Amino acid sequence: MKFASSFLAFLWVTVAATTLHAQIDRDWDEPFPPHRIADHLYYVGSKGLASYLVTTTKGHILINSSFERTVPIIRTNIEALGFKFTDIKILLTSHAHSDHASGHALVKALTGARVEVMGGDAKVIASGGQGQYLYTEGDAWKPCVVDRVLKDGDIVTLGEARLTARLTPGHTRGCTTWIMQATDAGKSRNVVIIGSPNVNPGYVLVNNRDYPTIADDYVKTFKLLKALPCDIFLGAHGSYYGMEAKYERLQKNPKTNPFVDPAGYRAYVEDRFQAFQEVVRKQKRNE
């Protein structure tokens, strides 16, 4: 009976995940207007996959290449803002899943950008996906040379830009939350670009043989995220921070900045923490 209940639960999660991904996938390939978030910080991704451009007098930093097939969306958006795609000097990522990093090899080939990746994800990107938790051959992408392996707290600098890499593991072993200062309306703001605190369908948090520390890693991540000061709340997917609705608000009133949302940040982190705890409780009951 216990096996049957577990199997039915697994089947329900699989069907729900398939339906959800079918809905999300449509957004992944859909263009979205590029827009300013703060001084020298821009959204340049598709509707469903967030990519950010940090501009400087020495070139630019791109966070997340997304899929190889969506790199043209990123390039078009960057050029629509008046910047040169080929001026990208550094390429970063939120985490080594294909929807955020499988375009790395193409971006590097087109721009010559240095690829800097957090340890735990660096070998995954260098191998084209191999070594990632739940990796299958169908998840493979083009390997990309990694020029610098980062550790928690490392600083990425270019021109006037200074980004701090914070290790927020669990979603992947090297999942990275980027923090930086940005000026908006003459005020200095704390920017937090969350890597991902989400527990994907199929993730095993209790007695995981492939990733034994996964639950402990999530706990460390939530502890850090709750402690970070945040004014401007961003993430690896625009859905994390309500990007579409905030963009609409920006169009209606350009003098305000809806991306300044510390309360939204705290609420999102707490919501994801509660969801994580619920998955742990369910999996412990089914042991």
Structure confidence by residue, pLDDT tens digits, 53-68: 999 999 999 999 999 9
Range of the domain at 91: 31-285
CATH at residue 41: 3.60.15.10
**Gap between the Cα atoms of 182 and 226, Å rounded:** 20
Compute the distance between CA of residue 252 and CA of residue 83 in angstroms, rounded to an integer: 25
Interatomic CA distance for residues 120 and 103, integer angstroms: 19
84 within a domain of the structure (yes/no): yes
For residue 12, being part of any structural domain is answered with no
Is residue 135 one of the residues assigned to a domain? yes
- Res 1 pLDDT > 60: no
Percent of the chain predicted with pLDDT > 90: 89
> Based on the structure, what is the number of domains in the chain?
1
Does residue 5 form part of some domain? no
Q: Read off the pLDDT of residues 77-91 as tens digits, 9 standing for 90 and up.
A: 999 999 999 999 999
Structure letter (DSSP) for residue 86 = G
Q: Please give the pLDDT value at position 189.
A: 98
18 lies in some domain: no
Per the domain annotation, does 6 fall within a domain?
Answer: no
Q: What angle do CA 263, 266, 268 make, to 5 degrees?
A: 105
44 lies in a domain? yes
**Whether the predicted model's global pTM rises above the 0.85 cut:** yes
Mean pLDDT of 218-232: 98
Q: What is the pLDDT of residues 136-192, one digit of tens each?
A: 888 899 999 999 999 999 999 999 999 999 999 999 999 999 999 999 999 999 999
Q: Residue 139: what pLDDT? A: 85
| Position 21 pLDDT exceeds 80 | no
172 falls within a domain: yes
